[in-house]
Structure 1
Amino acid sequence: MNQILCLSPSPWRSIPTRTQQLMTRLKDAKLLYFEPPGKHWKKPGREMRPGLTVYTLPPVLEAEERHQLLFRRHYRKLASHIQRQMDRHRFREPLIWCTSPEHVHLLEYLPHKGIVYDCDRDWPDYPPEWESDLALASDVIFAASPGLVDHLSPCNDNIALLPNGVNHQMFTRPEGECPPELVRIPGPVLGYCGVVWEDLELGPVAEAAQALPDCTFVFLGRVEDSLMARRLERFPNVLFLGRRAPVEVPDYLARFDVCLNLRRRSERYDDIVPTRIYEYLSSGKPIVSMFYPEQVEHFPDVVYGAHSPEEFARLCRRALTETGDWARLRRQEHGAGAAWSVRAEQVQRILTAIGLYH
């Protein structure tokens, strides 16, 4: 049985992260998953599925790296806690799965047979040397986008592109009942799934909502404090429905006639495909997405790519008139290829090929 020690930068969530999606699908493995320090660190581990136990790291006094004595004491304390849980579960030399540059400081204190770095974002708040050291120490790196591959390639030749994924079956299941908030909406529905961040550019939706007054624009997800969101709430054909449980999201998406993807200013130079896109693809619904001029368009064969609010509104109208099955089936094909089970199988094949999985 393979032993994997996973270090996560975020707590175990009801809405699964990329790390959770991969860890729950790795076969023939026993996993210990360590989430960041928290007040419940003294509680027993939580078994999320047979062979996968989640532990919370203990709170520690943080110190800047220039205070070397305190800095090293911080990570030694965390490593001691991890080692105690390893001993309890009889982990000897596990494969360590790292997901943040900070984890490089734990490696010297933990026995291991190999190191994986799964990079799914940029880390501007950490010194670049931390990520460089982690990349150099890793036996293999999984990167979520071509840009991240290029970013890490000077430090390691053994890098595999591993984009985000989707719970494909959830978004291809038979349609359930129409959500009550959408039952009485007579016209077409154009919807966005995801957090409405403060820096989410909502101007294109304002343009489209005015150009298409007979359509309803629906936002499904938590809303951050946003001046533009407050303005949009005044539009008669714009609805903010708030957050829904993940299991409910496919029922809302099934009612959408067109799925929308918008830009965040903080992600202007990212080329990471958000999980939202794969959910849209799995549904087969038409997709209209905003792009910055320098961004590479994802899935240009089946996604309507706009570069201005005016073009966004025109493409929303065009997407509503889409006919035939070719585009729908092609989108679902893209979604099936991005299933988290497929991503996990890719991980296992690569780890097996380099002798870290059996």
Structure 2
Amino acid sequence: MRQLVCLSGEPWAQVPTRTQQLMSRMRDTEVLFFEPPAPRGDKSWKQPGRKVRPGVIVYTLPPILTDDPAKGLLYRYSRSRVTRFLQSKLERHRFKEPVLWCASPAGAEYLDAIAYRGLVYDCYQDWPGLPEQWESDLAVASDVVFAASPDLVSHIAPCNANVALLPYGVNYPMFAKDGLPKPEALRDIKGPILGFVGTLWEDLDLSPALKAIRSHPDCTLVLIGPDRGNRLLPELLDEPNVRWLGPAAPVDLPDYICNFDVCLYLLRRTHLYDDVIHSRMFEYLSTGRPVVAMLRPGQVEDFPDVVYGAHSPAEFSLMCSSALEEAGRWAFDRRRAYGQAAAWSERAREVNRILESIGMF
């Protein structure tokens, strides 16, 4: 049985992260998954490992008392405690020279703590809150780097010649279903539904959705997701044909999205130059439903044949009209094909193939 140690950038969550999706699909592999350090005062790191999937055991790292090397003794004590913790868990599970998978630049701090046979860095986002030196050191030391977008590939390429593009993925079988029942919250809606799923961040630009629904009084705009202080949401909710349903359980999302007539993909103002295609787009595509998306400044469209792209709220509204008038099965089937190609099982298969080809597995 192959062995892999994952230093994750995020805790193991109910809504699976990219790292969880990949770790759950490592073939014939035992995985020790280490969550980021617990907050100070949190004792969760003292709990036994949690078996969350066959072959996957999760631990929480001990709290870090300081990230400042200038605080010499405290800094060294924190790093030493984490090192001892890692080594004790590897010894307990009889891990000897596993593959080390770092899903955060913070993993660079512990490369000397583990005797590994190969090192992987999964670069799936920018890390502005962490020292640049950490990511540089990690990328240089890695045998292979996976990057979630072309810009991230270019970002890492000066530090490592072995960088592979690995976009986000989707649980394709979950969303590629026909005839799903309409959720109770949508059953009284008579006209077409323009639907958005996602967190309503403070900086999420809802103005395209507002323009679209004011231009389509026969439609209903349905928003699904928690509010994080979005300032335009109250104005949007003043419209008679807008419904905000709050967050939905992940298992219920396919029922909602498959009953949208048009799926809306909006942008955060602080992420206008982020070229990562997140899982939500692939979820929309997997349903086959028409998708209208706001484009970043200067963006080359990712799916120009099946996604209606817009550069302004007015154009976004016009694209909604075109999407509502879409006829035939060609675009529907093409979107499904894009979703199928992005299935997490396919992403993990590519990871396994690459690691096997370079002798790490």
Report the TM-score range of the alignment, normalised by the length of the smaller protein: over 0.9
Moved more, 328-337 or 119-128: 119-128
Q: Structure 1: how far apart are the matches of 2:76 and 2:280?
A: 39
User: What residue in structure 2 maps to residue 331 of structure 1?
Assistant: 335
Give, in angstroms, the shift of residue 82 of structure 1.
1.3
1:24 to 2:28 alignment: no
Q: Which amino acid aligns with 1:335?
A: G
- The counterpart of 2:140, out of the listed 122, 136, 140, is 136
Give, in angstroms, the shift of residue 97 of structure 1.
0.5
Q: Structure 1: how far apart are the matches of 2:177 and 2:216?
A: 30
User: What residue in structure 1 maps to residue 306 of structure 2?
Assistant: 302
Q: Structure 2: how far apart are the matches of 1:174 and 1:311?
A: 30
Moved more, 128-137 or 160-169: 128-137
Deviations 1:1-32, CA, capped at 9 Å, x for gaps: 11000011111110000000000011110000
User: What residue in structure 2 maps to residue 346 of structure 1?
Assistant: 350
- After superposition, where does 1:68-147 map in structure 2 within 5 Å? 68-147=72-151
Q: Structure 1: how far apart are the matches of 2:155 and 2:322?
A: 37
- The counterpart of 1:188, out of the listed 187, 192, 195, is 192
User: What residue in structure 2 maps to residue 205 of structure 1?
Assistant: 209
Q: Which amino acid aligns with 2:182?
A: C
User: What residue in structure 2 maps to residue 51 of structure 1?
Assistant: 55
User: What residue in structure 1 maps to residue 246 of structure 2?
Assistant: 242
Deviations 1:222-260, CA, capped at 9 Å, x for gaps: 111111112111111111111111110000011100000
- The counterpart of 2:177, out of the listed 169, 173, 176, is 173
Percent identical among aligned pairs is 52
Give, in angstroms, the shift of residue 316 of structure 1.
0.3
Give, in angstroms, the shift of residue 68 of structure 1.
4.2
Q: Which amino acid aligns with 1:141?
A: V
- The counterpart of 1:285, out of the listed 270, 283, 289, is 289
Q: Structure 1: how far apart are the matches of 2:148 and 2:349?
A: 16
Structure 2: runs of 5+ lacking an equivalent = none
User: What residue in structure 2 maps to residue 262 of structure 1?
Assistant: 266
Alignment RMSD (CA, Å): 1.1
Q: Structure 2: how far apart are the matches of 1:15 and 1:311?
A: 33
Deviations 1:16-70, CA, capped at 9 Å, x for gaps: 0000000001111000001122221111111012211011111231231333443
Q: Which amino acid aligns with 1:21?
A: Q
Q: TM-score, normalised by structure 1?
A: 0.98
- Helix, strand or coil: the match of 1:248? helix
| Aligned residue pair count | 357
1:222 to 2:202 alignment: no
Q: Structure 2: how far apart are the matches of 1:132 and 1:202?
A: 36
Structure 1: runs of 5+ lacking an equivalent = none
Runs of 4+, deviation exceeding 4 Å: none
In 1, are the aligned partners of 2:174 and 2:254 still within 8 Å (CA)? yes
Q: Which amino acid aligns with 1:202?
A: L
In 1, are the aligned partners of 2:177 and 2:287 still within 8 Å (CA)? no
In 2, are the aligned partners of 1:271 and 1:296 still within 8 Å (CA)? no
Q: Structure 1: how far apart are the matches of 2:179 and 2:57?
A: 34
Give, in angstroms, the shift of residue 174 of structure 1.
4.0
Q: TM-score, normalised by structure 2?
A: 0.97
Q: Which amino acid aligns with 2:177?
A: R
1:37 to 2:34 alignment: no
1:2 to 2:2 alignment: yes
- Helix, strand or coil: the match of 2:245? strand
User: What residue in structure 2 maps to residue 60 of structure 1?
Assistant: 64
